[in-house]
């Protein structure tokens, strides 16, 4: 933890290449750890790329362990909270899922949505190309909030009332991280 990612990149790559798939996926702990590591660096505009088959089936955030609607709600709340934390630290979360796998993108996509990231479904053959595309555009601003003010004779319609002023002429959108 004393070294930056750049300083420890070689050691991380070596360990990554030695990993072998051995069974269940602890996606929740992996997401929390990776976002925690990025947050600890204290650099707004950091990105976390999650490559997954989406089968979070062990540990916190496990979809397979959710037996009731209440349990499933707690799992969704976990990803919502971790996404809010990433957003508050200026971290973008991108999700790469393999086409054809049973990925629970509905819940996982909240991470990308909250942080200004992307959700990409890829054919394993095009995985390298998709990684390059995801990381090609640098983050140019973090914690972006956009405000749109209309003339007093106009008002917004079909918008979330929580993002509008009382007279419906000012809309505030919390965008998060942005690229060009």
Q: Give the pLDDT score at 126.
A: 65
Task: Please state, as a whole number, how many other Cβ atoms lie within 10 Å of the Cβ of residue 34.
Answer: 17
The pair of three-digit structure tokens given for residue 20, joined into one six-digit string: 């072998």
pLDDT value at 102 more than 70:
no
- By percentage, how much of the chain surpasses pLDDT 70? 79
- This model's pTM is above 0.75: no
- By percentage, how much of the chain surpasses pLDDT 90? 11
Q: Give the pLDDT score at 128.
A: 65
Q: What is the pLDDT of residues 115-143, one digit of tens each?
A: 888 888 877 666 666 666 666 677 788 77
Q: Looking at 73-82, 132-141, 160-169, which range is the least confident one?
A: 132-141
Q: Superfamily for 24-137?
A: von Willebrand factor, type A domain (3.40.50.410)
pLDDT value at 46 more than 80:
yes
Give kind and range of the element (H or E) at residue 175. strand 170-178
Distance CA 85, CA 32 (A): 10
Burial class (CB in 10 A: 0-12, 13-18, 19+), 59: middle
The C-alpha R_g of the chain, in whole angstroms, comes to 19
**Which residue has 């979809």 as its token pair?**
63
- Position 2 confidence tier, pLDDT thresholds 50, 70, 90: confident
Q: Which of 50, 22, 20, 64 minimizes the C-alpha distance to 117?
A: 50
CA 45 to chain centre: 13
Positive or negative, the CA dihedral 85, 104, 29, 52 is: negative
* Contact between residue 68 and residue 84 where contact means Cβ atoms under 8 Å apart: no
Domain ranges of the chain: 24-137, 142-178
* Contact between residue 176 and residue 113 where contact means Cβ atoms under 8 Å apart: no
- Position 57 confidence tier, pLDDT thresholds 50, 70, 90: low
């Amino acid at each position: 933890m004393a070294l930056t990612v750049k300083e420890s990149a070689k050691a991380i790559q070596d360990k990554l290449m030695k990993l072998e798939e051995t069974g269940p996926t602890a996606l929740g702990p992996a997401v929390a750890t990776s976002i925690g590591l990025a947050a600890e660096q204290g650099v707004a505009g950091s990105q976390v790329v999650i490559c997954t088959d989406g089968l979070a089936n062990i540990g916190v955030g496990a979809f397979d362990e959710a037996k009731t609607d209440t349990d499933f709600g707690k799992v969704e709340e976990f990803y919502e909270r971790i996404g809010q934390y990433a957003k508050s630290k200026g971290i973008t979360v991108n999700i790469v899922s393999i086409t054809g796998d049973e990925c629970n993108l509905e819940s996982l996509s909240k991470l990308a949505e909250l942080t200004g990231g992307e959700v990409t479904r890829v054919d394993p053959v095009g995985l390298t190309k998709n990684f390059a595309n995801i990381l090609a555009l640098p983050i140019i601003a973090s914690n972006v909030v956009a405000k749109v003010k209309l003339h007093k004779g106009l008002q917004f319609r079909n918008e979330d009332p929580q993002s509008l002023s009382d007279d419906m002429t000012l809309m505030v959108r919390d965008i998060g991280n942005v690229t060009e």
